[in-house]
A and B are shown apart, each in its own frame.
Chain A
Amino acid sequence: MTTFVEEIEDIVDALTDWAEEQVEIIVKVLSPSGRPYDQKSKTNQERISEYMLLRSNSQSWQDWINERANQIIQSLAASAVDQTLIEGIHPYDIALRYALDYSYRMERLINRYQNKQLGEVNGQEEKQEE
């Protein structure tokens, strides 16, 4: 026979799984690298163009982070998660980590493009000298 403690543990497990799943779904949908359903993946050029709107503009970054964090907060609230619990999840931490990760990846991508273009220019100059 299941004891009462085991029964309570089962309920806690089930609810935790559900809540974690909700948070993960929300975060996944809101992450910049996440691909919304039924849409094509963006090309590198498109991704860079999009990123350039944020680059070097601290206000745009702040807006981007605020927007992501608010979306997390609103989505969790819509799933009937209590405000205290939402704060306990630290939505700004999540948004910031995504922003930093996003920026790091995009900077590397831009560097690769710049190096490639530089290599092509150097190659042309060497040919002209010859």
Chain B
Amino acid sequence: MPDYYFDTPSPVELSNRLQAAVELWKDRNKYIADVRDMIAGKNTIKAPASTQYVVRIGHTYALASIINEKASRFLSQPSIQVVPTTPDDRSKSTRLEKALQSAFFEMERHGDGDVWSRIIDDAIALDEGVELIEAAPAAFWPELVAEDEEGKPLHIMEGKDRDQYKKEHGLPVRTVYVPLEYYLPIYEGSTQVETFHLEQRSLRSVLTNPLFDTSGIATYSKGQEIDLKTQVLIVRYCNQSIYAYYAMTPSTSRSNWPVMRLDVNSSKGPLTLLRAYKHGRGKVIYNCIAGRFGGWKTNDTKIEPVGRALLDINQKMDELLSQAMTNVGARHWPNLKFHLDADRRGWTESGENPTPPRVQPGEPLLLYIGEDLTPTFIPGEDPLFAWTYDQLREQLNKLGGSGVLFGSREPGVDTGYHQALMISRAEHLDEKMEQHLVQGAINRATHIFDIVKSLGDKGERVWTHYIERDSGTNNKKLVWLNIDPEDLTPMPMMDARVRKTRPVDYIAAVRTANDATMERPGRGPLLSDDTVREEILAVESPDIEERKIRLQTEKGRLIDSGIITQAVSARLNLRLAQKQGPQLKDGQVAGVDPALLESVQGLASQQGGVPGGINPQLLDQVNRSTLGPGRRRGMVTTDSQPEARIGEEVAASANAGLGI
């Protein structure tokens, strides 16, 4: 194996290789600079400098709008599907999927945020997006990796304590967005063997970074205030084994620090090594995600002709817009043209022009016979503008993909058939893009797995978490998941979803799923529920979905059986039995109106009784009061026996309908 695969090069060697890389990607970077300018509306529009009218410059931002529209079709985070090798592996793959989902979010949060979205923007506009996926156990788990002078761990944490520590301190991985122009890889075939990544930091931040050996640049310090304004070009170097940071120092004047200019070979200066470490991943730690045309492996790519065409159209549209705006301005905010009678206006012999009359708004204008006042440019229709603009727009849509995917109707597209044709044409343009993003997402997950396997001697289990909402109480709660190195040998097979599902896609998928799972006489359905969920409906965790469905079905059955109604009736009766109206004290019944006692007895003896009956104990109290103590009239014929009353209550509980 060549030494540049694994060794840290000397600063001089590295400087030469960097210059070669800058030279190699010079054309790419010129293209990138042009695209970035066009997106930002910084492209130059040539216009006549000396005119009688005011030139107005406008930008259509057509390229930016295409990128916006295309980027909105993709998810802000990819969704990984870990394919189980056997049905028993289903729960493991579900755990890994959820852990990865959470890890993607966490690594962006630990890095500079919104990384995947920016990668997608670059992949659309430049045909490649790059992210740096760093393992930083020293930053996230300081106590776990701290060692004494002999290299022994300072804090010994094992088992639950170790896991608890790792849970508290989070995933030791971060991802950083790398602008493509600052990423200079050196390929051998399809493999990146060395890469340069350039960035600028203040001299102050470089000198205060505890991980950097700053002895080579400390002499440049001129105090913190000046150091803060001094920008240092940092060269990050990576090969299959080493990751290193170098500072590019001034070559001649001590205050003339090199700046990043990548379209020309001007980033020159001696390099000083700040830090180098073995990353242990066996490949460069950058994840390059290709766009529609497969990214930049050489300085020659298919994106450039298409991109240049888009830039050209955008430029023409900007020029046309500027002409139109200038024209409208000149016609509607006109310079007036006076035809004056020289004799009447006082033509001087010295040849000076007569002064044109000045009139305030609302005041009458005095003109002599034969004089005239007209605008320089006469307002009028110019169909050429509209025609040219439509042509450009149509060509732009053909190259960039159109908004029909989101339901917008193009002019002249009147039938559903034509609309469908346009949708399939636009989708076709995105298919390649989607395919490459999927590969990039899988590579991203593989980087995380590689990091888990490379931590420590035998790998290190890492923890991620996600928030789950309790279906009963609706409260949020934390669920911990781990990625265990033991689960990663052999490396799981993965797939990814990167595009949003459109409602129309989902409806079509559900119909297909229904058809595929329909019972066929004697032969069963065409596909199993499991396959349909995974392959057609793209459900991330089909086993969890199946469990949810089973639970829902059984819940429904149980509720339909009336168990809730019965339980409610029983409990309600119990509560009401405990406090049914005012509680009557001993002897209280004796003190009431005798006519009332008679009426109670009357009610009790009614044919068929009263609804719900009367409590026998209460009736007994009434009878004793009317007949005197120790005497009973006997059981009232229509009233329930005490045992019957208990039976009544049980029956009421058991047979209560669904009214409540």
8 Å CB contact of B472 from A6, A55, A61, A73: A6
Q: Which A residues are in CB contact (< 8 Å) with B652?
A: 84-85, 87-88
Contact check, B656 vs A2: say whether CB atoms are below 8 A apart.
no
8 Å CB contact of B572 from A19, A58, A66, A97: A19
A68 to chain B, nearest CB (A): 10
Contact check, B472 vs A100: say whether CB atoms are below 8 A apart.
no
Contact check, A11 vs B576: say whether CB atoms are below 8 A apart.
no
Interface residues of B in 566-593 (CB under 8 A from A): 567-569, 571-573, 575-576, 580-584, 588-589, 591-593
8 Å CB contact of A61 from B593, B611, B659: B593
Contact check, A16 vs B584: say whether CB atoms are below 8 A apart.
no
B610 to chain A, nearest CB (A): 5
| Pairs A–B under 8 Å by Cβ, sample size 8 | A1-B470, A54-B596, A58-B595, A85-B652, A87-B613, A90-B615, A92-B612, A96-B603
A60 to chain B, nearest CB (A): 8
Contact check, B580 vs A94: say whether CB atoms are below 8 A apart.
yes
Which residues of chain A have a CB within 8 Å of any CB of chain B? Answer: 1-2, 4, 6-8, 10-12, 15-16, 18-20, 23, 27, 54-62, 65-66, 69, 73, 80-101, 103-104, 106-108
Contact check, A85 vs B615: say whether CB atoms are below 8 A apart.
no
Contact check, A62 vs B603: say whether CB atoms are below 8 A apart.
yes
B578 to chain A, nearest CB (A): 10
Contact check, A16 vs B657: say whether CB atoms are below 8 A apart.
no
Docked pose: A55 CA to B613 CA in angstroms: 24
Q: Which B residues are in CB contact (< 8 Å) with A19?
A: 568, 572, 660
Interface residues of B in 145-168 (CB under 8 A from A): none
Say whether, besides A19-B572, A69-B610, A88-B648, A96 and B602 are in contact (CB < 8 Å).
no
Indicate the size class of the contact surface on chain B: 35 or more
Q: Which of B592, B651, B655, B657 has the most CB of A within 10 A?
A: B592
Q: Which of B470, B554, B567, B648 has the most CB of A within 10 A?
A: B567
Say whether, besides A87-B611, A89-B573, A2 and B657 are in contact (CB < 8 Å).
no
Contact check, B593 vs A8: say whether CB atoms are below 8 A apart.
no
Contact check, A85 vs B660: say whether CB atoms are below 8 A apart.
yes
User: What 9 A-B pairs have minimum CB-CB distances, sorted nearest first?
Assistant: A88-B652, A82-B659, A97-B581, A2-B472, A61-B599, A103-B592, A82-B657, A58-B598, A101-B582
Contact check, A82 vs B656: say whether CB atoms are below 8 A apart.
yes
Docked pose: A62 CA to B655 CA in angstroms: 30
Docked pose: A69 CA to B600 CA in angstroms: 13
Interface residues of B in 611-628 (CB under 8 A from A): 611-615, 618, 622
Docked pose: A87 CA to B649 CA in angstroms: 9
Q: Which A residues are in CB contact (< 8 Å) with B572?
A: 16, 19-20, 23, 85, 89
Residue of A nearest to B593 (CB): A103
Q: Which A residues are in CB contact (< 8 Å) with B611?
A: 69, 73, 86-87, 91-92
Contact check, B612 vs A86: say whether CB atoms are below 8 A apart.
yes
8 Å CB contact of B602 from A8, A62, A84, A95: A62
Say whether, besides A19-B572, A65-B599, A93 and B618 are in contact (CB < 8 Å).
yes
Say whether, besides A23-B576, A73-B611, A104-B588, A10 and B593 are in contact (CB < 8 Å).
no
A122 to chain B, nearest CB (A): 24
Q: Which A residues are in CB contact (< 8 Å) with B567?
A: 8, 12
Interface residues of B in 386-430 (CB under 8 A from A): none
Contact check, B555 vs A100: say whether CB atoms are below 8 A apart.
no
Contact check, A98 vs B568: say whether CB atoms are below 8 A apart.
no
